[in-house]
Amino acid sequence: MAQKRTTKAPQPDVTIDLVAKAAGVSRATVSRVMNGSAKVSPEREAAVKKAIAKYNFTPNATARRLAGGRSGLIAFLMEESSEEFFLNPFWGLVVQGFSSTITEAGLHPLLLIRPKTGSDDSIFSTLRAGQVDGLAIFSWHHSIKTFEKLLDPKMAVVFGGDLGGSKKYTFVDVDNIQGGLLATRHLIDQGCRNVLTITGDLKLQSARDRLEGFEQAMSEANRSISDSIIIQGDYTQSKAEELTGKLIKDKVKFDGIFASNDQSAVGVINVLLQNGIAVPKDVKVVGFDDSPIASRNHPSITTIHQPIRELGSEVAKSIISILNGEDVEEKVLDVKLVKRESTARTR
């Protein structure tokens, strides 16, 4: 007698819709949980993860992109000098946070660095030709109004930092004003009577915001603010060294310096020590970023900690959310003062 064949009922295709139905949530919620692109309640997150495990759901990123007519390329574009990008560890950490989040989402990060003298038309023509789905823009030294007109309206665009009040695109930034305020307050609290600042490139909103924090702290302490205590730098170590050398040569009186980033703080300290000026005994110095050079320097540098990797990651998450059809809002990340040797009190 022939054995009966048993045929299993065909299994339904495992899709994001099936996972969403099993978890009792929307497609967007499943996407948020999988990409980590926005906060989801613990209960919903648990339900989604349970449904994913039940169906062993692994979305085919390539198929998903092809179905949507996407390339999967997400560009990280910055306008900066070679010195600033390759010598400042801040940028390496931002790129790490950005690229790891993009890669985990099944997309492909693309790093583009262009000199400050580059042409807007050429770079955005390249982006259009490369069929880039998303774009993160950092450290932009030109007007944003120009490239707002040049960008593909279908592209998901997020700024790494407030680039000056775009009405079209969102941003992720850190609280630069608060950082400048904390840095300057600390110098005043440590007994500095003649405080000045070496700014970043004032074409950048971050530099203007840090300067605003400096001015707020000086005003709070009833300190006079004049052009002579605002020294215009550009965020590079070489410029800070040049400016500090000039201050010493001109016999400017100062005992505290807020440098707008750690690279500049290193430059300041190098020149002070070369000229026999002790740090922190004669001059106290505060930087900004809390990049690795701040803790490794001798003396170690008091600085404003900003979540550098998180900044890159949050920009990536916002781009992913836009590609998933979700609304995104501006994000401002917190900063804090990290005290080290460069501002220690001395007898």
pLDDT digits (tens, 9 = 90+) for 311-322: 999 999 999 999
The pLDDT of residue 17 is 80
Is residue 118 domain-shared with residue 200, that is, in the same domain? no
The pLDDT of residue 290 is 97
The pLDDT of residue 81 is 72
Residue type, 178: Q
Checking if the pLDDT of 201 tops 80, the result is: yes
* pLDDT classification of 176: cutoffs 50, 70, 90: very high
Burial annotation 67-99 (CB, 10 A radius, 16+ → b, else e): eeebebbbbbbbbbbeebbebbbbbbbbbebbb
Compute the mean pLDDT over every residue in the chain, rounded to the nearest whole number.
Answer: 86
The pLDDT of residue 64 is 52
Would you say residue 217 lies in a domain? yes
Averaged pLDDT, 235-262: 97
The pLDDT of residue 324 is 86
Is residue 313 domain-shared with residue 295, that is, in the same domain? no
* pLDDT classification of 10: cutoffs 50, 70, 90: very low
Is residue 196 domain-shared with residue 315, that is, in the same domain? no
Q: How many Å is the Cα radius of gyration of the chain?
A: 25
| Number of residues that make up the chain | 347
Is residue 180 domain-shared with residue 296, that is, in the same domain? yes
The pLDDT of residue 169 is 86
Checking if the pLDDT of 164 tops 60, the result is: yes
**pLDDT: which is higher, 19 or 60:** 19
Q: Which of 346, 326, 329 minimizes the C-alpha distance to 30? A: 326
Is residue 153 domain-shared with residue 168, that is, in the same domain? yes
The residue segments making up the domain with residue 258 are 176-307+337-343
Averaged pLDDT, 106-121: 76
Is residue 149 domain-shared with residue 159, that is, in the same domain? yes
Is residue 303 domain-shared with residue 314, that is, in the same domain? no
Total domains in the fold of the chain: 3
The pLDDT of residue 120 is 59
Would you say residue 7 lies in a domain? no
Would you say residue 8 lies in a domain? no
The residue whose two tokens read 């900066």 is 80
Would you say residue 11 lies in a domain? no
Would you say residue 64 lies in a domain? no
Would you say residue 137 lies in a domain? yes
* pLDDT classification of 338: cutoffs 50, 70, 90: very high
Neighbours of 150 (CB within 10 A): 13
Would you say residue 5 lies in a domain? no
**pLDDT: which is higher, 271 or 81:** 271
Is residue 92 domain-shared with residue 145, that is, in the same domain? yes
The pLDDT of residue 116 is 66
Checking if the pLDDT of 193 tops 80, the result is: yes
CATH at residue 313: 3.40.50.2300
Would you say residue 109 lies in a domain? yes
Checking if the pLDDT of 6 tops 50, the result is: no
pLDDT digits (tens, 9 = 90+) for 117-156: 655 566 767 676 667 889 999 887 676 766 677 777 778 9
What percentage of the chain carries pLDDT values higher than 90?
54
The pLDDT of residue 80 is 76
Is residue 109 domain-shared with residue 196, that is, in the same domain? no
Q: Quickly list DSSP for 152-165.
A: -TTSEEEEES--S-
Is residue 288 domain-shared with residue 240, that is, in the same domain? yes
Checking if the pLDDT of 97 tops 90, the result is: yes
Is residue 314 domain-shared with residue 166, that is, in the same domain? yes
Supply 189's token pair. Answer: 């609290």
Supply 15's token pair. Answer: 């899709």
List alpha helices for 58-119, DSSP H.
61-67, 82-87, 89-104
Is residue 221 domain-shared with residue 301, that is, in the same domain? yes
* pLDDT classification of 9: cutoffs 50, 70, 90: very low
